[in-house]
Structure 1
Amino acid sequence: MRPAHLCLAVLVAAVWGVNFTVVEIGLGHFPPLLFSALRFLVAALPAVFFVGRPKVAWKWIVAVGLVLGVAKFGLLFIGMDAGMPAGLSSLVLQIQAVFTALIAHVVLGERPTGVRLAGMAVALCGVALAAVDEGTGGPLGAFALVIAAAACWGVSNVLTRKASPPDSFNFMVWVSTVPVLPLLGLSLLTEGPARDLDALRALDWRGAGIVVYVAWITTVLGFGAWGRLLHRYPASTVAPFSLLVPVFGMSSAALFLGEPIGPLRWGAAALLVGGVALTSLAPSRTTRATVRPADGPTRDRIGEPA
């Protein structure tokens, strides 16, 4: 990766890490599915009226919107609401890197090298070490929901790579329009109209600020930048940077929520950073298939533009 893209990947990880603390606070204001619906509603409006028409086929927008917006975030928010603490959630969710690499291998033909596999193993050891330090922290069902959310994130990473949107900001805004109605419908069915109305009536400046952060900073800007990286690099190169998210997630949870960080946790952070460094510097073996656009240079369907 180029240095600027390395910095962008780390910045996105920081934004997403802090987001777990923000979500934990936000779940004290809103039911989980309503909270997720508001997130995407604010992310989509009014931006959708200014970004222009979608630049990829609607099938990709709908697919990513349902998998990322409804499935991944719905499961994550429900899991955290059911008892998974912010720090532990930021750890467990990072198993998505393994799901992404496996799906990318099957769907995109991206075969990680031995060095990259070793880097992922080191980073995942860091996740395991931090998980041992903290323990499950909540009901087994909540833990399983976050694992399922991680699998959905892996699917959405590969779908985004497959869609290869030329304008990731445009793509993320349009993707954000898809989950709103399904999440609102699920909220009304499972959380109930009375609970939703009570949460909306009690909305204050703090609650509004939380929605704006998770909508614009983490969703539109964060996933827009992530999509740009996936457009330029193989999914198995980009995905491991999400393993930095627990470093920022645990730090922000300790600072704002009082979750402790002991020596084992710091050791886990060192393993995560080292593993990500190995993974990002190692080249990947990909199945090559090139096309030459009528007005531009040859581009690799799987790898970086030539």
Structure 2
Amino acid sequence: MFLLAVMWGLSIPITKLGLETVPPLMFTAMRFLVAVPLLLILAAGRLRVPLRAAPSIIALGVMGITLGNVAQSFGVQGTSASVGTIVSATIPIFIVIFAALRLGQFVAGRHWVGLLAAFGGIALVAVASGSGVDDLSKTTVTGVAWMLVSAVAIAFYYIWSAELTEKYGTLPVVAWNALAGLLAILPLAATEMANAPYLVTVQAFWTAAYLGVMVTVAGLLLWLYILRSVPARVAASVQYLQPVFGITAASIMFGDRLGVLFIAGVIVILVGLALAVSNKRPVPEEVVTHE
């Protein structure tokens, strides 16, 4: 989970780099043109799924891959790297809500306190971080709205993916829904390319490759494994560490300044995580003696 927090935490600042010369739809298509062939190769020989599963898998891809990632690209374009990372940190809260509704997972009061405390820590981290000075670092209301749409879509995608992979297997579901999402993106990206300026640089290539390989393929497979191994509240809460890595990377890449509240925010996040992942210790049965 720590490794995943690092991999995904770097995604927002790295996406920012890719969007410097490539528009959002085209950049998202580049990312999945890297990821989809890798997923199909990994799933070779295990791609068969029941026909009844096709509508759900296609809908999953369009919602999570197309809507979630396109919205994220537009959101990153309209926010500073730090603010984009902060808003994306709402994903764990939505994951826990959807897991409770769809998977019936119990969330105790102290777990909600921990989640909200961790989010409060992220707010402190946000206050402690500044914005860059270039145009790409300017934050707009539209950019924040796109990031929230992305957070809801991606959170639901994660939970729905867990349901479908439980029924039909991880690799076939992930490969087919990624392909469906890519096919839905391509016409949009082609239209954007015909109407917007772009420049495919070495930087654009390596950022798309990182997002495709590390965030989409390795990250998603690792996430689904974790989600099957621990309760959703535990898996989701650890994602609160992502902003710490993302903002630290943003401060290096874009000159976002970190204030004294940054350390305080990190401490609050860690305390919140401790509550969110805690379990009550079993109470030992009393030994009743009879005279």
Which position in structure 2 is the counterpart of 1:213? Answer: 210
Q: Deviations along 1:249-288, whole A, 9 cap, x unmatched?
A: 00101112211111112211221122123212337xxxxx
Once the 2 structures are TM-superposed, how far is the Cα of residue 212 of structure 1 from its aligned partner? Answer: 0.8
Check conservation: 2:130, 2:258, Cα contact below 8 A.
no
Separation (CA, whole Å) in 2 of partners of 1:50 and 1:76: 26
Corresponding position: 1:28 with 2:49: no
Which position in structure 2 is the counterpart of 1:112? Answer: 107
Check conservation: 2:165, 2:173, Cα contact below 8 A.
no
Q: Deviations along 1:133-191, whole A, 9 cap, x unmatched?
A: 458951111111111111112211210221234754554333321211211222334x3
Which position in structure 2 is the counterpart of 1:186? Answer: 188
The amino acid that maps onto 2:36 is A
Separation (CA, whole Å) in 2 of partners of 1:78 and 1:100: 22
Which position in structure 2 is the counterpart of 1:292? Answer: none
The amino acid that maps onto 2:177 is V
Check conservation: 1:123, 1:243, Cα contact below 8 A.
yes
Which position in structure 1 is the counterpart of 2:284? Answer: none
Q: Which runs of 5+ in 2 are unaligned?
A: 132-137, 281-291
Residue 276 of structure 1 aligns to a residue whose secondary structure is helix
Separation (CA, whole Å) in 2 of partners of 1:50 and 1:241: 27
Residue 33 of structure 2 aligns to a residue whose secondary structure is helix
Q: Deviations along 1:28-63, whole A, 9 cap, x unmatched?
A: 121101111111111011541452233764344323
Residue 256 of structure 2 aligns to a residue whose secondary structure is coil
Distance 1:37 1:222, change over 3 A: same
- Same amino acid, percent of matched pairs: 25
Check conservation: 1:169, 1:220, Cα contact below 8 A.
no
Which position in structure 2 is the counterpart of 1:54? Answer: 47
Once the 2 structures are TM-superposed, how far is the Cα of residue 121 of structure 1 from its aligned partner? Answer: 1.7
Separation (CA, whole Å) in 1 of partners of 2:47 and 2:121: 39
Residue 90 of structure 2 aligns to a residue whose secondary structure is helix
Which position in structure 2 is the counterpart of 1:97? Answer: 92
Check conservation: 2:130, 2:256, Cα contact below 8 A.
no
Distance 1:143 1:168, change over 3 A: same
Which position in structure 1 is the counterpart of 2:77? Answer: 81
Q: Deviations along 1:231-257, whole A, 9 cap, x unmatched?
A: 222322211111111000001011122
Taking structure 2 as the reference length, the TM-score comes to 0.84
1:175 counterpart (177, 180, 184): 177
Number of residues of Structure 1 aligned to a counterpart in Structure 2: 269
Check conservation: 1:12, 1:225, Cα contact below 8 A.
yes
The amino acid that maps onto 2:176 is W
Separation (CA, whole Å) in 2 of partners of 1:167 and 1:79: 32
The amino acid that maps onto 1:187 is A
Check conservation: 2:162, 2:228, Cα contact below 8 A.
yes
Q: Deviations along 1:192-246, whole A, 9 cap, x unmatched?
A: 4143xx53xx423332211110100111001110011112223222111111110
Q: Which moved more, 1:149-158 or 1:273-282?
A: 273-282
Which position in structure 2 is the counterpart of 1:164? Answer: 165
Residue 43 of structure 1 aligns to a residue whose secondary structure is helix
Q: Which moved more, 1:30-39 or 1:166-175?
A: 166-175
Check conservation: 1:97, 1:240, Cα contact below 8 A.
yes
Residue 282 of structure 1 aligns to a residue whose secondary structure is coil
Residue 106 of structure 2 aligns to a residue whose secondary structure is strand
Which position in structure 2 is the counterpart of 1:65? Answer: 61
Once the 2 structures are TM-superposed, how far is the Cα of residue 129 of structure 1 from its aligned partner? Answer: 2.1
**Bigger radius of gyration among the two:** 2
Corresponding position: 1:17 with 2:14: no
The amino acid that maps onto 1:31 is P
Taking structure 1 as the reference length, the TM-score comes to 0.80
Distance 1:152 1:188, change over 3 A: same
The amino acid that maps onto 1:242 is Q
Which position in structure 1 is the counterpart of 2:270? Answer: 273
Residue 178 of structure 1 aligns to a residue whose secondary structure is helix
Separation (CA, whole Å) in 2 of partners of 1:99 and 1:49: 32
Q: Which has the higher contact order (CA 8 A, sep 6+)?
A: 2
Check conservation: 2:90, 2:151, Cα contact below 8 A.
yes
Check conservation: 1:70, 1:183, Cα contact below 8 A.
yes
